[in-house]
Chain A
Amino acid sequence: MRRPRTGLAAILPGLWLAIFFAFPFLLVARLSASDSALSIPPYAPRIDWSQGVAGVRAFLAALDGETYVRLTQDSLYLDAYLSSLRLAGLAAGVLLLIGYPIAYGIARCPPRLRQALVMAVILPFWTSFLIRIYAWVAILKPAGVLNAALGAVGLPTVDILNTEAAVLLGLVYAYLPFMVLPLYAVLDRQDESLIEAAQDLGCTPLQAFWRVTFPLSLRGAAAGALLCFIPMAGEFVIPDLMGGSETLMLGRVIWTEFFANRDWPAASAVAIVLLATLVVPILLFEREQAKVAR
């Protein structure tokens, strides 16, 4: 039988990703090593193509790490870097803790209900992200819905908007479906007879969970944690709307450097640092995905 040349299908999307995804990173890297200037491009140095190879060499020689040196000198960048990783890591941990029982609960429901529940978990994700975060602002602000409710039942009010706690809440809220779905996928795929075998061999239902279900779901947990951690580390909207001025995250720093300070090299350098940090998690995630896809 004639085999379709399926490899050909890769050409168009491959080219698209090369042009719009991979190549721009080179531009970011180049700009991050350019001289800072508080204006729009072009930035020095530029490649003088008329000189051929010599021109390229001269261009490379003129690139420097000046912008990166600047990043190390201002503690703002280091703080933002650390708090990005800390908040994203913390949120990933909290997501695992609350996402797991939800995914497990859904997997234990009858098949019909399961589909509807998965749908219900995905549905909020289809509504505007910005709007959902905005809804939290309305809930958490000092004169917001939460405090009105607390006041009505005579409890002391809380003021957590513009704190790290609010950012954490926002991250957990926005990324919960991304944690629940991969976890549910592995839990749902698990062979029911494995649990029965464990119980048959003397495990209580709880022991069977810890000795069989849980270890076999770690792959989904890893996939979910990575799927959330990576974009959370570069998150902009949540820290911007829910965090205070002291809650710095790299996504927000890039945004500020670019839009407020108009310092494109600095924004690029921060982006490169973030990207370099995320390379390992991204590769891990891809390895997991490749395994699942096989």
Chain B
Amino acid sequence: MRRGPSAFNIASVALGLAFLYAPIVILVLYSFNASRLVTVWAGFSTRWYVALFQDRQMLDAVWVTLRVGVISATIATVLGVLAAIALTRSRSRGRMVLAGGVYATLVMPEVILGLSLLLLFVAAGLPRGFWTVTLSHATLTLAYATVVVQARLQSFDRSLEEAAQDLGCPPWKAFALVTLPGIAPAVAAAWMLAFTLSLDDLVVASFTSGPGATTLPMRLYSQVRLGVNPEINAVSTLLIGLVATGVIAVYLIQQRRRPSP
């Protein structure tokens, strides 16, 4: 009996997804509300988007955030791929220590991470700003990138790489020619995840940032503290749209490459 989902199963999944998406949908809807009041629908309007694009500080913050995200995600992905190789292929004792570090970073409360990184930069005498946030974000997202790549490497058929070596490739070349293309979607996903997490982070950035390097979440946070503001809805909607487009595109590309089961 190939058991399909029961009514209970379907209801659980549907309610769960409704719970996850309801706030996001509401947020997007109200970003097009002409009224400043959240509860009053005063017709469709894009005035908050117009206001947003005239908000110099907000746009600066977006620019800082994007640069931090790209650089830190790239560092985190390179390190994450290396760490994933070590975690899946090496059998040394160092592997366990590295795994310990990776999983601890994964669950470490951001407040602790932010505070400790700040103290590091202070001790090292580094002026806080763009680069300290970038280094911190690379640290924060490294573990996520590692886990994503590791999952793919684990399921990757080792014998493909061995076949390449058998056909005369030195190990590093076999990895570059066979394994890397095979795990490329996971590497892309790892980069996307690291980028998104960096884009999203408030806490670590707040600790490690300095003058002139205010990120978008920091900016949003200071506005949110002041109360609900439709301009934030507009920024949020743009961010959601951007990320959703990227994620769905990656997903569809992966779907098309994979033959149907």
Contact = CB atoms under 8 A, between A and B. Distances in A.
A53 interface: no
Nearest to B195: A126
Interface in A214-241: 226-227, 230-231, 233-237, 241
Interface stretch (B44-52, B56-64, B104-112): B104-112
Interface string A164-182: 0000000001001100100
A14 B95 CA distance: 9
Given A134-B27, A271-B116, 15 more contacts: A1-B165, A7-B90, A10-B83, A10-B87, A21-B104, A24-B116, A102-B13, A108-B3, A109-B4, A109-B5, A130-B220, A173-B23, A195-B3, A226-B107, A271-B112
Nearest 4 CB-CB pairs, A to B? A234-B109, A24-B116, A4-B171, A10-B86
Nearest to B221: A130
B13 A105 contact: yes
Interface in B170-205: 170-172, 175, 192-193, 196, 199-200, 202-203
Contacts, number: 298
B119 A128 contact: no
B255 to A, nearest CB: 8
A52 interface: no
A2 B203 contact: no
Interface of B: 1-6, 8-13, 16-17, 19-21, 23-24, 26-27, 30, 37-39, 79-80, 82-83, 85-90, 92, 94-113, 115-117, 119-120, 122-123, 135-136, 138-139, 142, 146, 150, 154, 162, 165-166, 170-172, 175, 192-193, 196, 199-200, 202-203, 206-207, 217, 220-221, 224, 228, 232-233, 235-236, 239-240, 243-244, 247, 251, 255, 260-261
Contacts of A44: none
Contacts of B90: 6-7, 9-10
Name the prevailing secondary structure of the B interface residues.
helix
Contacts of B199: 128
A239 to B, nearest CB: 11
A256 B34 CA distance: 36
A289 B13 contact: no
Contact of A12 (B82, B110, B120, B255): B82
B27 A138 contact: yes
Nearest to B117: A24
Contacts of A282: 103-104, 107-108
A49 to B, nearest CB: 13
B122 A41 contact: yes
Contacts of B27: 131, 134-135, 138
A262 interface: no
Interface residues of A, number: 101
A87 to B, nearest CB: 13
Contacts of A41: 122
Nearest to B78: A12
Contact of B111 (A101, A105, A254): A254
Most buried by A among B20, B27, B89, B94: B20
B224 A258 contact: no
Interface of A: 1-4, 6-7, 9-10, 12-14, 16-25, 27-28, 31, 41, 98-99, 101-102, 104-106, 108-112, 115, 117, 119-121, 123-124, 126-132, 134-139, 141, 143-145, 147-148, 173, 176-177, 180, 192, 195-196, 205, 226-227, 230-231, 233-237, 241, 250-251, 254-255, 258-259, 264, 267-268, 271, 274-275, 278, 281-282, 285-286, 289-290, 293
